Amino acid sequence: MARHFLPIVLSALILIFLGCTPADDVGTNAASAWTGTIDTLASGTVAVHNAGTPYWSHDETWQVVEKFRLGSGDILFGSIRSFDVDQNGRVYVLDNQSQEIHIFDAEGTFVRTAGGQGTGPGEFERASAVDISPKGEIWVMEMPKGQLTALDSNGIYQRREYVNSTGTAYSRYPGGMDRVGRYNGAVYNRMGEGHTFALARFDASFAPIDTVPIPMRPVDPEFFEHLMDDGRSRIRAAVPYQGSHQWRFSTSGHFWTLYTGTYELAEITPAGEVLRIVTLDFEPLPVTAQDKAQVRDQLRWFTRQGGSMDLSRIPNTKPVVSSFFVDDIGSLWVQRVALESDDEGRIFDVFDADGRFLGQLRLPFALDMRVDPVVMDGVLYGVGEEANGASIIVVASIERPGAA
């Protein structure tokens, strides 16, 4: 899925290239369909620019077909915090309300429940994430404690391990198992008088490997700030529509990042080397008067405490994408901001592992991207919602015409 290495690279910037690969050299099949460019910058970074024409023909477009749902039968989820899938297709769902892990087999049949609220062995107080280790153990991280509990595949308590506690919890745990079998524990990394997030990496036996910085945001965020009457404390609110910075593990053990403000993807090594920059031409979305009116309502808590907002600092356009994930063959799925309510959580731009724009998919269901989807052996697992608002896991097959 290096805090001080990521540069800003905009597609409009004029750069000096060491070499250039024209679109008609990408491959025989791509030559007639793909109109982008692949260039090598002076730094060695590969820059992939997509003009917007998809690689897929109509017959090559992938199809996502729902198979079944978990959580709509006898077992109901209160709130899904995290989930993972093992090599046999068994699904492990962490319920934030009950602090339980519900286990289902590959056909969607409920198997058993493990864990639960408490402080005893195999119990959790504030579980942040569940991961399946390369050895098939269930690893549950409690981020505020820096405590990892290992259960066997049946949910029986085995042991506890520890990383340096961050003292806080994020709704999406910024660590977990990567695609090459390393566990990444989110820790604070001391830098001079300050600190920043880093990932302490461990092998399949939880033996320490090293610590690496997480990718940094390419543009510092801006805030509305207000000094309180005591003259010491401050409150602040982020300026809306700036764009977010996100990262995910790649299939090769690197990071993929997305900066939504400019719709820019980047592949980065743990050492901070930028291997690849991927951009796509898009039509900007204007920030409307209605959007600004909603901002006033959303930030009323800030103004009620004396804060003021300079609306001229709000960008004129807003991001066209909101999140992304990496599938089992290295393809990137980038979630579009929906223009219609029926499309909310359903529209994804898909890129291959080299950054070429394949095309756009509309899923038959909406995905809640606050929890990362999992793709394994061509099966998509993601968090969705029933009509009554109940959280579920949707299991769907990805049909890839022409794929080997």
CA 96/CA 125 separation, integer angstroms: 10
> Residue 378 in contact with residue 106, Cβ under 8 Å?
no
Among 320, 385, 379, 374, which residue's Cα sits nearest to residue 348?
A: 320
Look at residue 63 and tell me whether its pLDDT is greater than 50: yes
Q: Where are the domains of the chain?
A: 1-53+247-286+303-364
As a whole number, the mean pLDDT across the chain is 88
Among 121, 115, 166, which residue's Cα sits nearest to residue 138?
A: 115
pTM above 0.75, yes or no: yes
CA 263/CA 273 separation, integer angstroms: 20
Look at residue 25 and tell me whether its pLDDT is greater than 80: no
Name the DSSP class of 72. S
Q: What is the pLDDT of residues 284-332, one digit of tens each?
A: 999 999 999 999 999 999 999 999 999 999 999 999 999 999 999 999 9
* pLDDT at residue 366, rounded to an integer: 97
CA 212/CA 120 separation, integer angstroms: 32
Q: What is the pLDDT of residues 354-382, one digit of tens each?
A: 999 999 999 999 999 999 999 999 999 99
CA 164/CA 185 separation, integer angstroms: 8
Helical segments of 43-172, H only = none
Among 5, 1, 2, which residue's Cα sits nearest to residue 198?
A: 2
CATH number of 1-53+247-286+303-364: 2.40.128
Structure tokens at 196: 């920043």
CA 132/CA 137 separation, integer angstroms: 6
Q: Give the β-pairing of 274-280 and 46-50.
A: parallel
